[in-house]
Amino acid sequence: MAGVIDLPEGSWWDRDVYSWRPGEELRLAAGYDLGYHHGLELVLTGPLYVRCPAFFQDPVFREPTPGERRLVERQCGEEPGVLLAFEADGGGPEPVSGLIAAGDLEVRVGAVLRHRTESTGTTAPPPR
Q: Is 11 helix (H, G, I), strand (E, B) or coil?
A: coil
User: E-assigned strands of 1-128?
Assistant: 14-21, 25-31, 37-45, 49-51, 55-62, 82-89, 96-102, 104-113, 115-116, 123-124
**pLDDT tens digits in sequence order for the chain, 128 residues long:** 555 677 788 778 899 999 999 999 999 999 988 888 899 999 999 999 999 999 999 999 999 999 999 999 999 998 899 999 999 999 899 999 999 999 999 999 998 888 655 554 445 554 44
On the 0-12 / 13-18 / 19+ scale of CB atoms within 10 A, 100 is buried
Q: What is the C-alpha radius of gyration for the chain, rounded to an integer number of angstroms?
A: 15
Nearest CA-CA partner of 113 in 49, 23, 41: 41
What pLDDT is recorded for position 2? 57
What pLDDT is recorded for position 10? 78
What pLDDT is recorded for position 128? 43
